[in-house]
Amino acid sequence: MSECEEIATTINRLVKAGYIAKAQELLELSLDDYFVLQLAMSADKKVNAYTTIAAWKRAGLRLPAEDTDEFYPYRDSPSVTEEQLKTEVDKLKEGMRTSTMNPVMFLIQLPLRFILALISFTFGGWIGRAGIALVLLKVIGDIHWQWWVAALPLEYGVIYCLYMTIDGALYRAGLKDVGGYARFTQGGRRN
């Protein structure tokens, strides 16, 4: 752990424990070598530096103003005004509107997606490979099953890929939410 990280985590621990005077003293001593943003970034890597700074302010720590050298030593990060923030949000919204799905390209992509899924299912999974092996055994005459029985794993693959292509298309079009199986297998959050 670097010296900056040690100082920053100590300040953070002092603030959380309620020792504001000691935290203030340590902060003021460390501003000769480090700046507030650097200390806040090193204090708690689980949260944003500005979240840490806000927590320090709420606890009563006196921090230098954001336009001083102690906060931004290179002065290349001025604070964002409300107008700039609104402009950026408007640009993002406009970008989302223009990136909506083109219906013609959407319909052209569907067969391609189905074919790619079928190829992946057939050659990438054990069910598809078993179907290929059974069909080859039927062709050379080693098994005397009906054709539809020998090709059953491949038929299953066609039905499965067709279903998944339609399901994905409905999801991409916004007509359907994520399915139960996807929610169950995604891990992390569970409803």
| pLDDT confidence bin for 70, thresholds 50/70/90 | low
Q: What is the pLDDT of residues 23-51, one digit of tens each?
A: 888 888 887 777 777 787 778 777 777 78
d(CA 23, CA 39) in angstroms, rounded, equals 12
Using CB atoms within 10 A of its CB, is residue 161 exposed (0-12), middle (13-18) or buried (19+)? Answer: buried
| pLDDT confidence bin for 152, thresholds 50/70/90 | very high
Task: Return the SS3 of 33.
Answer: coil
In 3D space, the residue among 113, 121, 109 whose CA is nearest the CA of residue 165 turns out to be 113
| pLDDT confidence bin for 190, thresholds 50/70/90 | very low
| pLDDT confidence bin for 85, thresholds 50/70/90 | low
Residue 124 or residue 100, greater confidence: 124
pLDDT at 119: 94
Please count the CA atoms within 13 angstroms of the CA of 107 that sit on its side-chain side: 2
pLDDT at 191: 44
In 3D space, the residue among 169, 179, 178, 176 whose CA is nearest the CA of residue 101 turns out to be 169
Q: What is the pLDDT of residues 102-137, one digit of tens each?
A: 677 778 888 998 999 999 999 999 999 999 999 999
d(CA 105, CA 119) in angstroms, rounded, equals 21
Question: pTM (2 decimals)?
Answer: 0.44
pLDDT beyond 90 at 22: no
Q: What is the mean pLDDT of residues 74-79?
A: 52
Phi, psi of 155 (to 5 degrees): -65, -40
Q: What is the pLDDT of residues 168-178, one digit of tens each?
A: 888 777 777 77
DSSP string, 152-176: HHHHHHHHHHHHHHHHHHHHHTTSS
Mean pLDDT check: name the lowest of 9-13, 43-47, 59-63, 78-82.
Answer: 78-82
Helices (H), the chain: 3-17, 20-30, 36-43, 49-59, 82-98, 103-124, 126-140, 147-150, 152-172, 180-185
